[in-house]
């Protein structure tokens, strides 16, 4: 059982943080390097998405031209 004075200290601790990751990796904000890596990853997904869209448009145009 926790002594009363220790329990008061635990309950009164308003500066506690949720977990190890938030303290050491992303507190208070992610570092610039992490943000840059996330943006690069997002840009690569956008490029892939745009290439699929362009490929689909080419297929549609080719199929429409064959039907004429």
pLDDT in tens, 14-68: 566 565 555 566 556 667 788 888 899 999 999 999 999 999 999 988 887 775 5
Structure tokens at 55: 């490929």
Q: So what's the pLDDT on residue 47? A: 92
Q: State how far the Cα of 42 lies from the Cα of 48, in Å rounded to an integer.
A: 10
Q: So what's the pLDDT on residue 67? A: 59
Residue 9 has pLDDT above 80, yes or no: no
Task: Tell me which of 12 and 22 has the higher pLDDT.
Answer: 12
> What are the angstrom distances between the C-alpha of 38 and each of 15, 20, 32, 33, 65?
29, 21, 10, 9, 41
Query: Tokens 């892939």 appear where?
Result: 48
Residue 18 CA, chain-centre distance (Å), reads 19
By the 8 A CB rule, do 62 and 52 touch?
Answer: no
């Amino acid at each position: 059982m926790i002594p009363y004075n220790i329990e008061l200290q635990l309950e009164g601790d308003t500066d506690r943080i949720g977990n190890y990751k938030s303290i050491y990796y992303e507190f208070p904000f992610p570092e610039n390097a992490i943000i840059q890596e996330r943006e690069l990853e997002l840009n690569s997904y956008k490029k892939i998405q745009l290439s699929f869209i362009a490929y689909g448009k080419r297929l549609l145009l080719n199929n429409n031209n064959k039907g004429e």
